[in-house]
């Protein structure tokens, strides 16, 4: 500390750039995060360490510079709107100042002409909605909720005009856990890299929080959750995790001659700002010489009219002879919807399968084949999202890809078993 006081240049180097829009003094850990000059860095670890504030502070550091543009991302729009989440926090900080909120753009605009925009990446390839945009700062809150592909893509949106005195920064904040736990851990935490610093902050590092009260809340969590959120332990293993990534080696292609089936799970509604609904998923698996190849996964949130068109288009694009399975929900509406699809798919081999039992149990035979080395993934843009979900069930909020894969496998296995019985 004496050295810092006696050396003005060093003191300046270790003092973060602040302005009137940053409404409270950063903690020492937040200050360390704000002075980093590497293009990417991550903050957080345990809950209550002040990670959302750190991310918002970083985004606001240069809003006095003309032309500066910052983007803050969450996984869904609903996440952005939560009390004390990024948009709510920004509104508290900027209320009464000279920044203007533009609701139809979910954006704050500053007298300098700088902007702070809020966005979300709620579906595969949704990051491409930003492909014509340019930012000097991009921040992802709760990074483990994103896929690695989404994160890497956003680097293409970091750019500035010649001579602009603003650094290019990709910043993130998160706790352990979530579907992206493993890739985030590998990139930032273990073993760690000087060009990708990780500022680990715990509850004790945040004097603005009622620490004793929050400690009582954290004590009610499961042992693994407490390890993640209280201690920022990235090595804690989720309770009940079933599948492992190494069970699904990636290959370039599947054999041309194979039995194929695509199974559709229709447990979805159109995405809205009110929450995080399930997905419609169609998984195509092939089998050749006792090896099962997950060849293609199509996943989206479509309305009923769109679903019929998607299923028909996919059937036409799939290899000839691909059997089609449809999960039939209970009740008359589910039966009518399935029968309508079967009529629309005239000319294809189609079967409807009532949803019986829980999804985890239904898919376990497929997971058993993977564990014993009889499953491969064919390389595709969907691989990372698929692996994230498959390896987090039943601890993840969505299991639609899990169920769709189990359905396609069951069709192939049932067909193989029936063929063998007939031959006998």
Question: How does pLDDT run across 74-109, given as a tens digit for each residue?
Answer: 998 888 888 888 999 999 999 999 999 999 999 999
| 26, 166: one domain | yes
Dihedral, CA of residue 196, residue 197, residue 199 and residue 200, to nearest 10:
80
Q: For the domain that residue 302 is a member of, what is the CATH number?
A: 3.30.420.240
Give domain status of residue 35, yes or no: yes
| 199, 266: one domain | no
Give domain status of residue 313, yes or no: yes
Give domain status of residue 90, yes or no: yes
User: Do the Cβ atoms of 148 and 384 come closer than 8 Å?
Assistant: yes
Give domain status of residue 145, yes or no: yes
Tell me the residue range of the domain where 58 lies: 12-229
Distance of alpha carbon 133 from alpha carbon 275, whole angstroms: 26
Distance of alpha carbon 147 from alpha carbon 357, whole angstroms: 30
What's the maximum distance between 2 C-alpha atoms anywhere in the chain?
Answer: 90
| 82, 215: one domain | yes
- pTM of the full predicted structure? 0.61
Task: Tell me how far the alpha carbon of residue 369 is from its chain's centroid.
Answer: 27
Give domain status of residue 253, yes or no: yes
| 218, 284: one domain | no
CA proximity to 411, closest of 423, 401, 422, 419: 419
| 376, 405: one domain | yes
Distance of alpha carbon 41 from alpha carbon 171, whole angstroms: 5
Mean pLDDT (the chain, rounded): 84
Q: What b/e readout covers 189-212, taking b as 16+ CB neighbours within 10 angstroms?
A: beeeeeeebbbbbbbebbeeeeee
| 23, 140: one domain | yes
The stretch 335-353 carries a mean pLDDT of 89
Q: How far is CA 23 from CA 18, 200, 383, in A?
A: 9, 22, 42
pLDDT tens-digit map of 373-413: 999 999 999 998 888 788 877 766 678 899 999 999 999 98
| 173, 278: one domain | no
Q: What b/e readout covers 29-67, taking b as 16+ CB neighbours within 10 angstroms?
A: bbbbbbebeeebbbbbbbbbbbbbbbbbbbbbbbbebee
Last residue of a domain, one of 171, 199, 229: 229
Q: How many domains does the chain have?
A: 2
| 70, 176: one domain | yes
| 264, 218: one domain | no
| 267, 396: one domain | yes
Last residue of a domain, one of 171, 195, 229: 229
Residue 320 has pLDDT above 80, yes or no: yes
- Residues whose CB is less than 8 angstroms from the CB of residue 116 and which lie 6 or more positions away in sequence, other chains included: 59, 60, 63, 70, 71, 72, 90, 107, 108, 110
pLDDT tens-digit map of 118-171: 999 987 778 888 988 999 999 999 998 898 889 999 999 999 988 898 999 999
Whose tokens are 């995060």? That residue is 33
| 267, 346: one domain | yes
Q: Which segment of 144-148, 253-257, 358-362 scores lowest on mean pLDDT?
A: 358-362
């Amino acid at each position: 500390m004496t050295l810092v006081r006696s050396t003005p240049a060093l003191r300046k180097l270790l003092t973060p750039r602040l302005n009137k829009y940053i409404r409270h003094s950063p903690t020492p850990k937040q200050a360390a995060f704000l002075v980093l000059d590497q293009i990417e860095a991550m903050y957080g670890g345990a809950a209550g360490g002040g990670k959302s504030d750190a991310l918002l502070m970083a985004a606001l550091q240069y809003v006095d510079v003309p032309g500066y543009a910052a983007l803050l991302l969450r996984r869904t729009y609903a996440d952005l709107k939560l009390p004390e989440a990024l948009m709510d926090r920004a509104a508290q900080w900027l209320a009464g100042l000279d920044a203007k909120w533009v609701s139809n753009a979910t954006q704050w605009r500053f007298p300098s002409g700088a902007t702070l925009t809020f966005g979300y990446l709620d579906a595969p390839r949704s990051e491409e909605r930003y492909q014509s945009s340019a930012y000097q700062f991009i921040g992802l809150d709760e990074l483990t909720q994103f896929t690695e592909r989404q994160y890497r893509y956003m680097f293409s949106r970091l750019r500035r005009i010649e001579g602009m005195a603003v650094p290019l920064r990709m910043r993130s904040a998160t706790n352990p856990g979530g579907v992206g736990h493993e890739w985030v851990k590998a990139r930032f935490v273990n073993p760690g890299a000087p060009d990708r610093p990780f500022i680990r902050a715990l509850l004790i590092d945040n004097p603005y929080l009622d620490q004793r009260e929050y400690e009582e809340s954290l004590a009610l969590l499961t042992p693994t959750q407490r390890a993640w959120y209280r201690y920022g332990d990235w090595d804690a293993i989720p309770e009940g995790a079933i599948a492992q990534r190494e069970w699904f080696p990636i290959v370039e292609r599947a054999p041309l001659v194979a039995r194929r089936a695509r199974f559709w799970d229709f447990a979805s509604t159109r995405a809205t700002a009110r929450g995080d609904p399930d997905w419609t998923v169609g998984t195509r698996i092939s089998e050749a010489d006792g090896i099962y190849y997950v060849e293609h996964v199509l996943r989206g949130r479509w309305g009923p009219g769109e679903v019929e068109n998607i299923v028909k288009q996919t059937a036409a694009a799939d290899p000839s002879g691909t059997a089609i399975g449809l999960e039939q929900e209970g009740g008359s509406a589910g039966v009518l919807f399935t029968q309508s699809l079967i009529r629309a798919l005239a000319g294809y081999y189609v079967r409807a399968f009532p949803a019986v039992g829980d999804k985890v149990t239904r898919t376990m035979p497929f997971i058993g084949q993977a564990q014993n080395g009889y499953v491969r993934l064919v390389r595709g843009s969907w691989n990372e999202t698929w692996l994230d979900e498959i390896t987090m069930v039943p601890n993840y909020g969505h299991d639609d890809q899990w169920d769709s894969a189990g359905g396609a496998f069951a069709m192939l296995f049932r067909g193989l078993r029936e063929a063998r019985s007939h031959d006998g």
